[in-house]
Amino acid sequence: MNCIIALGNPGKQYEKTPHNIAWMILDVLFPDAEWKKNDYANAMLAAVSIPGYSDPVLLVKPLTFMNLSGSVIPFLAREYGVHNDLCIVMHDDLDVVFGKTKIAYGRGHAGHNGVLSIAQHFDTKDFLRLRIGVAKQLETGDVIKPNVLGLFSKEDIESIQNQSVVIHDILKTILAEGKDVAMNKFH
């Protein structure tokens, strides 16, 4: 089963922070998802349909806090047959400007401990990632990296709604046409 793992932190205080942008986007894309807590996975899980793709897709929000996100992998592999080639990991990225999303495959974690944890549990860095930008570009062109645990502004949250449309197109393309087509189309 294909799965989308969105990295984030549990708890009300983290809901609207850059570290939780992937969770926020899943909530925008799939407002009717029936999330269920799975204690064995230590994650919130939901199966959804994506238009243009015939099979259900498993959505996953690990509840382990960011640095231990990969601990969900053994459960997903055992119960759903998930492996690195069937998985899309969505996460915040300080090296990408807010409002932009980059697709990566087979690259290092670049200091993101949640991605490192996923790679350690898959025992490979060969998995697809949607790197969702949270860095701020100033009018001068300078880019600054925000505190990933600071709160988004109201304007930022509205922008996330718009960015979700692009991410939905990326996900549909990956699932229906493959990662290579998506990487060519969205870069």
Q: For the domain that residue 68 is a member of, what is the CATH number?
A: 3.40.50.1470
CB atoms inside a 10 Å sphere around CB 44 = 20
- Domains: count for the chain: 1
Residue 111 pLDDT: 86
pLDDT at 51: 82
Q: Quote the domain boundaries for residue 130.
A: 3-185
Average pLDDT, the chain: 95
- Tell me the mean pLDDT in the region 39-51: 95
**What residues contact 56, with CB distance under 8 A and at least 6 apart?**
1, 47, 48, 49
- For residue 85, what is the DSSP state? G
Q: Which residue has the higher pLDDT, 111 or 99?
A: 99
Residue 41, token pair as written in the block: 């996975």
* Residue 187 pLDDT level (bands cut at 50, 70, 90): confident
Per-residue pLDDT averaged across 94-122, rounded? 95
Question: Which residues does the annotation mark as catalytic?
Answer: 19
